[in-house]
A and B are shown apart, each in its own frame.
Chain A
Amino acid sequence: MSAEILTFFIFVLSVFLGFELISKVPSMLHTPLMSGTNAIHGIILLGGMLVLANAENFLAVGLGFIAVIFGSANVFGGFMVTDRMLQMFKKKKK
């Protein structure tokens, strides 16, 4: 099996896993969950870092720099805002 096919295999499995993971979530957690998954796709920061590291001309460095800022805001802001939402879900203090 070639490497491309193997990656594609992982992709297909992930699709099904994503469906399974969310199908059992109560609707009260939908907003925090949307926010949490939003933070997870902030992994694009890695992509931004990789392209910026290998950027060779002025344009590529500039665009890579913006990509890193965007990705960083997505990942850090995303996890922080989700944590802020979730820290409020607690039982009544008796």
Chain B
Amino acid sequence: MSSFIAITFIAVAVLFILGIKLMGSPKTARLGNLIAAAGMLIALIATLPLLSHGDFPGSHGWTMNYTLMVVGIVIGLVIGAIGAYSVKMTAMPQMVALFNGVGGGAAALVASLEFLKRVSSPEGITAFFAITMLFATLIGSLSFSGSIIAFLKLQGHLEKPRTFPGQNIFNGLILAVILGLCAYLTGWGASTPLFVTMFVLALVFGVAMVMPIGGADMPVVISLLNSFTGLAVAADGFTISNISMIVAGTLVGSSGTLLTLLMCRAMNRPVTNVLFGAFGSTTSGGGAAGTDASGRTVKPIQADEAAILLGYAQQVVIVPGYGMAVAQAQHQVRELSDELGKRGVEVRFAIHPVAGRMPGHMNVLLAEANVPYDQLCEMEAINPTMDRVDVCLVIGANDVVNPAAREDKSSPIYGMPIIEADRAKTVIVMKRSMAAGFAGIENLLFYKDNTRMLFGDAKASLQTLIAQLKAS
């Protein structure tokens, strides 16, 4: 590698670091993404001279491989562009899962090809390269298959956790076989059939790992798989000695791991519990009735009364949740907030770190509806002011406002930080029915004295509310 290209790759690494850094603030986030993209473009161009050991397009002229390369890049570009621009805002998490999956697949293929090439070469494979190639293949392929399952779960297929007795033992056995194969391939001899077996088992393991996890935990899983893919790419970087792949992959690997831990902390659950707990399988049945087994009742409210409560409030806090995303109601939420704003009501949005299907899911949706981001408050900022709030409007959120997290020691979510909606003077909960939330836990908030339930589709209810406010 000439030193000019080497220096170019250092510049690329700097651009990636700057990009991630700028993505940490709302004002500079878009610029940060563009800077990282610019770094990627430079890296791609700087790679061209490396393709055939120095002279492009190669000493034996333009071969079939180069044609395929251009065709492949164009196909990927078209698929990526169609995916990125056609996806609905609510389906963004699935799209990220898919892009992550194909990245993992590519990482596994690159490592496999290097392995297959070196296994037949006279020099053989050193232990160091065996480890990097096996690691990239294992992690990349499980990230590929795991991401596909995560995508399907978020699309609404396979949403419930799939469990069977002895599942953790079964998964542990697969993993043990995979690790055994890796150890054998490293220490005793590289063999193509064993390598292919390992590849296939890694794919199976990705499926088996994600299958028992409930749809509500998919954000954590996608974040984890994202960091896995980063590490696989870094390992590939070691294998083909490309510094920018090592730096970029490692940055993604470590930042993704931290992001995963932050998400788990927001749910007050250790990451092991998410991955092996099969949480959410403890579903309690929730009917459409207003009474639960112990005879507690909920108090329904009609839209006109709710409109009056909102219109004459001084402070309103809106807590959005996945229900808002499903009903595509973010534009109506913004309209309601504007309408209240015109009447001098102070409106704020309380965003729980894990509301929706990904951290920041609600922010993205509300931003799409042009809600200014300075109106969005984090949980820690809103909770101390909750006592002064006149009306707290909960739109399709459930577990993140469940006071059981504070009051019921036997609840699976006990100890999870929540938005303390129940401390507002009046709580209006918009909900389709009395069905339990995604985690399958009953919500004590619905039975509180200051809680009123506004049943119906969130979008339709909001439209009625807005019409009532405009008429009065």
Contact = CB atoms under 8 A, between A and B. Distances in A.
Interface of A: 3-4, 7, 10-11, 14-19, 21-56, 59-61, 63-92
A76 B378 contact: no
B238 A45 contact: no
Given A18-B255, A88-B367, A81 B92 contact: yes
**Interface of chain B, main secondary structure:** helix
Contacts of A49: 44, 47, 51, 69, 73
Contact of B75 (A41, A60, A72): A72
Contacts of B68: 52, 61, 64-65, 68
A24 B254 CA distance: 14
Contact of A37 (B20, B93, B116): B20
B40 A79 contact: yes
A55 to B, nearest CB: 6
Interface string B426-462: 0000000000000000000000000000000000000
Nearest to B108: A67
Interface of B: 16-17, 19-21, 23-26, 29-30, 32-34, 36-37, 40, 43-44, 47, 50-52, 58, 64-66, 68-69, 71-77, 79-81, 83-85, 87, 92-93, 95-96, 99-100, 102-103, 105-107, 109-110, 112-114, 116-117, 128, 222-223, 226, 229-230, 232-234, 236-238, 240-256, 258-259, 262-263, 266, 351, 353, 358-361, 363-364, 367-368, 370, 372-376, 378
Name, among B50, B51, B364, the residue most crowded by chain A CB atoms within 10 Å (CB to CB): B364
A43 B360 contact: no
**Interface of chain A, main secondary structure:** helix
A28 B363 contact: yes
Nearest to A21: B20
Nearest to A56: B117
10 contacts: A44-B110, A44-B233, A46-B245, A49-B69, A52-B65, A74-B106, A77-B84, A83-B34, A89-B30, A90-B373
